[in-house]
Amino acid sequence: MVAKISGSLEERADPKVQLEQAIQEAQEQHRRLTEQAANVIANQKQTQMRLDRAMEEFEKANGSARQALLLSDEAVKAGNAEKATDYNTAAEQFANKLIQLEHEVADLKKQLLETTQAADKAKKSVAQNSQTLQKRLTEREKLLSQLDQAKMQEQMTKAMNQLNATLGEDVPTFEEVRDKIERRLAKAQGMSDLTGATVESKMLEVEQAQMSAESQARLSELRSELGLAAPPAPETKKAEAPAEEAKPAEKPAGG
């Protein structure tokens, strides 16, 4: 009974409302994903700040330790043993702080590497989900158009059923009118499919050309790093050969 009732409610549900609900859910998921990614990126930036601050403190402690050693050496030369001892003690304290800061900097560098990788991954996830959401928004317009077309077709069918009941022998039958409408609709859909296929194929060619260009650029960088020469391009030479042969033939024609 539950399955039967659920099926009946599903049939009566408005597809337009269900479509809007699905889009809203997708948008909410993207918002949550973006918020999580923002937290990951914020953690990476905070780690970078802590590392910068620790390195700055390390430089200060290193400079203070050096200064304390110089002052201790000057006090020894001046014969002031008490000051020399105090400066030497201060230098040891700065040295201990340097050791602690070295460990802290090393740990922060490791954390920064991990948080940077996590931030890059989060950025990619948001970008991919954004593309998916955009596709769904575009698909929504198409589905709404199809829904309107289906409603108009249903209204047309209902009207033709009513008209067919009152038709006489001298007018076309409902089946003939329906076949005519379906042929017209099928032809219009066929033209639309051809137009859409042409646009999609051009878009695919552009995407493939861009990927090929990026691949060639990356290979060129790798060859440059390895000190390798660029390979010859036989296809270009073949394409240029007919053009070179055509040049001598054009001169007599011009004379």
pLDDT (tens digit per residue) in 146-169: 877 888 888 888 877 776 665 555
Does position 103 have pLDDT exceeding 90, yes or no? yes
Domain positions in the chain? 15-140
pLDDT (tens digit per residue) in 78-88: 888 898 899 88
pLDDT (tens digit per residue) in 121-135: 999 999 999 888 888
Q: What is the dihedral of CA 68, 88, 74, 81, to 10 degrees?
A: 150
CA dist 51 and 77 (Å) reads 39
Residue scoring higher pLDDT (150 or 113):
113
CA dist 145 and 125 (Å) reads 31
Of 202, 37, 215, 50, which is closest to residue 120 (Cα–Cα)? Answer: 37
Does position 41 have pLDDT exceeding 80, yes or no? yes
For residue 189, what pLDDT is reported?
A: 79
What is the overall mean pLDDT for the chain?
Answer: 79
Residue scoring higher pLDDT (54 or 155):
54
CB contact set of 84 (below 8 Å; sequence gap of 6+): 72, 73, 75, 76
Among the residue ranges 69-78, 149-158, 222-231, 239-248, the one predicted with the least confidence is: 239-248
CA dist 54 and 193 (Å) reads 63
Among the residue ranges 1-15, 117-131, 212-226, the one predicted with the least confidence is: 1-15
Does position 217 have pLDDT exceeding 60, yes or no? yes
Q: What is the dihedral of CA 142, 145, 146, 148, to 10 degrees?
A: 160
Structure tokens at 35: 């918020």
For Cα atoms 131, 137, 143, give the angle at the middle one, nearest 5 degrees.
135
Of 61, 53, 49, 48, which is closest to residue 100 (Cα–Cα)? Answer: 61
Query: Is the separation of the CB atoms in 174 and 161 below 8 Å?
Result: yes
For residue 151, what pLDDT is reported?
A: 80
For residue 144, what pLDDT is reported?
A: 78
Question: What number is the average pLDDT over the span 66-85?
Answer: 90
Confidence of residue 8 (pLDDT cuts 50, 70, 90): low
